[in-house]
Structure 1
Amino acid sequence: MTDTPTSTAPFRYVDLFAGIGGFAAALRAYGGEHIYAVEIDEAAAAVYERNWGHPALGDITKDANDDQVLVDPHDVLVGGFPCQAFSKSGAQRGMEEARGTLFFNIAKIIEKQRPSVVVLENVRNLVGPNHEHEWQVILDTLRGLDYRVADEPAILSPHMLPPDRGGRPQVRERIFITATYNPSKIKKPNPIEPVVAKGELIDGWNPKKQDWDLEPLLDDSEIIPGCELTEAEVRWIDAWDDFVQIMYERREGARLPGFPFWADSWKDYGEPIPPGTPAWKRSHLEKNYAFYKAHRGILDKWAERHGVFTAAFPASRRKFEWQAQDTPRLWDTVMHFRPSGIRAKRPTYLPALVAITQTSIIGPRRRRISPRETARLQGLPEWFDFSTNRRDAETYKQLGNGVNVGAVWYILRKHVERDRDILRTTPEGRQLIAAVLSAPRSPDAILERMDPFTPTLDLEEPALAAVGSD
C-alpha cells in the first residue's frame, strides 16, 4: 500500500507487519511521513487505517518478491516480523537461505530501496539457543546488503524504561535488530555493541527497587462492560484469598513460598513419588508434601469450606502460584487464570499482554483490565479508536500482538545516537538525526496533541545542531 509523498517531512518510513500501528505511533511522533504499510490481518489493518489514515491491508509476499518490489523509496524501514524457521540444510547462507521465509521479503525491499535505518522487532526466543542459525542468517543477510549491525540484538521491556522516557508498567521483553546502511564501510570499535543491553539500567531506573504504579493507567470504575468476573471466578479467588490470609496470619506475616501450590497433591500425601517422575515435578511434589504436613489440619478445613475438591473447582483452579511477595491479600494483587493455575503478582507492573483467556485481573478493581487500559500499557494515546463494532477479544489480541510505542521511541533514538557517524554523511541521514535527537525524551505528549482523525503535527523545524559536523 504505497502513498505518494505529500510533505517535506524529515524522513519517510515503511511499516511492515504493521498490526494496529505501534511503530507508526512512534515514527509519526518523530515527524516521519508514511510511505507504505502492510498487514495481512483484516481486522488489525482496519484499525490501522482508522487511526493513521492510510490503508495497510495486504500481503508482503505479493508486494516484495523476486519479480517485483512495490514499495517506494524511504529512509526508515520497521517491522515486527513473524519468525519462521530457516532451513538448516545445505551450505547456503544469507538471503538465499532466507528464501521461503518472511524475512526474505523484508530483505528484498531493503535490497532495492536501501533505507538509511532498519529496525526489526521480534520475541526474545529468536536469539535463544534453538535459533542460533536463524539469527546468523539475518546478520549475514543484512551485512551482505552493506548494513552495519551488532552481533547481538537490543533487548528491552517497557517496564525497564523510566516513565519520563515513555516506559510502562508491563514486562514485555523483546529484541530489536537495528541496522544502518553503510556502503562506505565506516567503522566502529569492534564488536559493535547493541543499542540496549539486556538488564541495562536506563537513567538509573531500576523497577526492582523503584515500584511502578498501575493506578494512573487504570479507570476508577469497578464495573466496565466485558471486563466483569464470573461468579465462579470470584468464588475461586475468594477461596485462595482465604488461603493467603490464613497463611499470612499463621506464618506471622512471612511471605508465602514461591513454589506452585498443587492442592491435588495434598490428597496424595504419604504416597511415594512414582519412579521416573521428572526432577522439576519431584521437587514441586516434595515441597507440597512438606507444606501440607506442616499445615494439614488448617488446609483440610480450608479445602472443605470452599469445596476445593468438588466439581465447582476445576483442576487448573486447584493450582496456585504466589509471586506477590509481602502483599497480605489476594484481592490486592494482579492475577492471571492460566492453564497451570492461578498466578498472583504484586500490583506494580503487569506481565506481557496476551490473549483474552489470560487477561490480567486487577484485584483492587475486582475485574479484568479493560481494552482502553491495555492500550495505555502499549503507549497508545487516548484518542486511539478501535471502533464500537469490534469484539473485546479481538482488541486484546491486537494489543497483545503489538509493539510498545515507548520501546520503539527509545530504540530508534539510541540507534541514531550510536550510528550518527554514518547517518550524517548523507542529507537524508542528517535530517533523520535532527528529527530524532531534537525530539522530547518521550512520545506521550506529542501523541496526545495529535488530531485523532489526521494524526499529524505541524512540528517545529528540527534542530540541526543535533546532527554534528561532517
Structure 2
Amino acid sequence: MSGAGGFRFIDLFAGIGGLRQAFDRIGGECVFTSEYNAFARKTYEANFPGETPVFGDITQLEDVSLIPDHDVLLAGFPCQPFSIAGVSKKNALGRQHGFACEAQGTLFFDVARILQAKRPAAFLLENVKNLQSHDGGRTFEVIVRTLREELGYHLWYRVIDAQHFLPQHRERIVLVGFREDVPFSWEDLCLPAKGSLRMRDVLHPQDGSEKAELPWTEGALAAVGAKYTLSDKLWLYLKNYAEKHRARGNGFGFGLVGSDDVARTLFARYYKDGSEILVSRGEGVSPRRLTPRECARLMGFPDEFRIPVSDTQAYRQFGNSVAVPVFCEVARIMRPHMRAVIG
C-alpha cells in the first residue's frame, strides 16, 4: 500500500494527536483522523494544519469505505461498559454473537468494524490499565477474542508506566497487533530507569532562562502567573479534606510536589482544583497548579506544541492524552516489523 519505506496510518479517537506524534516521527503519513470533541479538534488542527479537517464522531460514519486505505490503525479508544451475554444463550435465541453483538454500543466496536473492513497490516490501541480488570476481566476477554479469533490478528499487550520517560506515574495498557505472524517482542523496548526525570525537567524555572509565554508566564524572569496559585481558602479546604480522610485511614488527598519529585497521574479533572499535582512554593504559602505548558511537558509534548484553547480545556486535553515518549518507543519497535510486512 505504501512504498519507499513509508506507510499510511489513521488516527481514531485522536484527542490532541499524541499517538500521531509518535508515528509521524517514524515516517508515517496520516490519511484520516477522527475526534469527537470540538475543543480537542481545535488543538489537533492547530498542530497539524493544512490537512483534511478532522472527522467528528466515528460512530456516525456508517460507510467504512469512506476511510482511506491504510497500513496502520491507531486508536486510544475510551473504555465503555460492555454488555456481555453468553454465546450459547444468543444461539438459543437465534441472535448474532461475536464482536458485532458483544461490542455493539461500545467505542471498541468502531475499531473492530474498521479493522474488519480495511484489514490494515498493523494496529496500536491504548487504554487505561484497568481495562484488563473491568467487569471481572470480561471486557478485556471480548477485546482479545475479537482481535485474535474473529479478526485474525496476532496480538501482544503490555502495561507500560510513563515514569520510565517522564516524571509522572502513569500506567496504560498498550495493544499491538499485526495481520501477519511477525517476531514482535516487548523485550525490544528500551525503558530508562524510573525517576531519571524529575519535576524540575518540566516546571518553569522562573529565572529568566526561558522566554515568557503569556498567559502562563510573564516578565523578565518568566514567572508563573499569580492566577495559578491556590487561594488560601481552597488550600485550607484541601488540607482539611486530606486530614479528614487520613483520620479515617483513607488515602484521599492532594499531591504536593517539588522539583525533585515525580508526580501522580495527571487526570482530565485537573481543571477542577489541581489537587492531584500541586507545586510547592515553600513552607507557609499556598501551592500552585501546573500551567498548561507544564502539563504538556509532563505528557512529553514539545514546547512547540500549540495550545489554542482555554486552561480548562487544555487541562482536560492533556489529562486525556497519551504520554508521547512511551508511544515513540512502541512505534520504534513496531517499525521493523511494519517494514517487513508493508515494504
Question: Structure 1-normalised TM-score?
Answer: 0.59
Aligned to 2:77: 81
Aligned to 2:280: 363
Aligned pair count reads 305
Find the partner of 2:301 among 353, 358, 380: 380
The aligned amino acid for 1:29 is R
Asked whether the 8 Å contact 1:121–1:175 carries over to 2, the reply is yes
Aligned to 2:328: 409
Q: How far does residue 157 in structure 1 lie from its aligned partner after superposition?
A: 1.7
Instruction: Map 1:326-345 to 2 at 5 A.
Output: 340-344=252-256
Aligned to 1:122: 127
Aligned to 1:33: 29
Could you say if the C-alpha distance between residues 129 and 6 of structure 1 is closer, same or farther in structure 2, counting changes exceeding 3 Å? closer
Q: Deviations over 1:298-332 (max 9, x none)?
A: xxxxxxxxxxxxxxxxxxxxx9x6xxxxxxxxxxx
Give the number of the structure whose alpha-carbon radius of gyration is greater: 1
1:51 aligns with 2:51: no
Counterpart Cα distance in 1 of 2:21 and 2:245? 46
Q: Deviations over 1:156-197 (max 9, x none)?
A: 12112xxxxxx1111110001110012xxx476xxx96x279
Counterpart Cα distance in 2 of 1:29 and 1:264? 45
Aligned to 2:19: 23
Asked whether the 8 Å contact 1:95–1:141 carries over to 2, the reply is no
Find the partner of 1:146 among 152, 157, 170: 152
Counterpart Cα distance in 2 of 1:74 and 1:68? 12
Find the partner of 2:200 among 170, 195, 215: 215
Find the partner of 1:172 among 170, 173, 179: 170
1:391 aligns with 2:310: yes
Aligned to 1:348: 261
Counterpart Cα distance in 1 of 2:36 and 2:182? 38
Asked whether the 8 Å contact 2:133–2:140 carries over to 1, the reply is no
Q: How far does residue 374 in structure 1 lie from its aligned partner after superposition?
A: 0.7
Could you say if the C-alpha distance between residues 31 and 211 of structure 1 is closer, same or farther in structure 2, counting changes exceeding 3 Å? closer
Aligned to 2:215: none
Instruction: Map 1:245-256 to 2 at 5 A.
Output: none
Q: How far does residue 235 in structure 1 lie from its aligned partner after superposition?
A: 5.4
Runs of 5+ consecutive residues of structure 2 not aligned to the other structure: 88-96, 207-222
Counterpart Cα distance in 1 of 2:225 and 2:107? 39
Could you say if the C-alpha distance between residues 131 and 33 of structure 1 is closer, same or farther in structure 2, counting changes exceeding 3 Å? farther
Aligned to 1:442: none
The aligned amino acid for 1:80 is G
Q: Deviations over 1:13-62 (max 9, x none)?
A: 10000111101111111121110000010010011011112322411112
Counterpart Cα distance in 1 of 2:18 and 2:202? 18
Aligned to 2:118: 113
Moved more, 104-113 or 42-51: 104-113
Asked whether the 8 Å contact 2:2–2:71 carries over to 1, the reply is no
RMSD of aligned Cα (Å): 3.1
Asked whether the 8 Å contact 2:256–2:279 carries over to 1, the reply is no
Instruction: Map 1:254-265 to 2 at 5 A.
Output: 261-262=243-244
Aligned to 1:459: none
Asked whether the 8 Å contact 1:362–1:369 carries over to 2, the reply is yes
Question: Structure 2-normalised TM-score?
Answer: 0.79
Could you say if the C-alpha distance between residues 137 and 40 of structure 1 is closer, same or farther in structure 2, counting changes exceeding 3 Å? same
1:206 aligns with 2:201: no
Aligned to 2:219: none
Aligned to 1:296: none
Could you say if the C-alpha distance between residues 424 and 409 of structure 1 is closer, same or farther in structure 2, counting changes exceeding 3 Å? closer
Find the partner of 2:10 among 5, 8, 14: 14
Asked whether the 8 Å contact 2:15–2:321 carries over to 1, the reply is yes
Q: How far does residue 425 in structure 1 lie from its aligned partner after superposition?
A: 5.0
Q: How far does residue 6 in structure 1 lie from its aligned partner after superposition?
A: 12
Instruction: Map 1:50-69 to 2 at 5 A.
Output: 50-53=46-49, 54=51, 55-63=53-61, 65=62, 67-69=63-65
Find the partner of 1:133 among 121, 132, 138: 138
Counterpart Cα distance in 2 of 1:358 and 1:175? 27
Counterpart Cα distance in 2 of 1:415 and 1:33? 16
3-state SS, counterpart of residue 341 of structure 1: coil
Q: How far does residue 349 in structure 1 lie from its aligned partner after superposition?
A: 1.2
Could you say if the C-alpha distance between residues 90 and 236 of structure 1 is closer, same or farther in structure 2, counting changes exceeding 3 Å? closer
Aligned to 2:231: 230
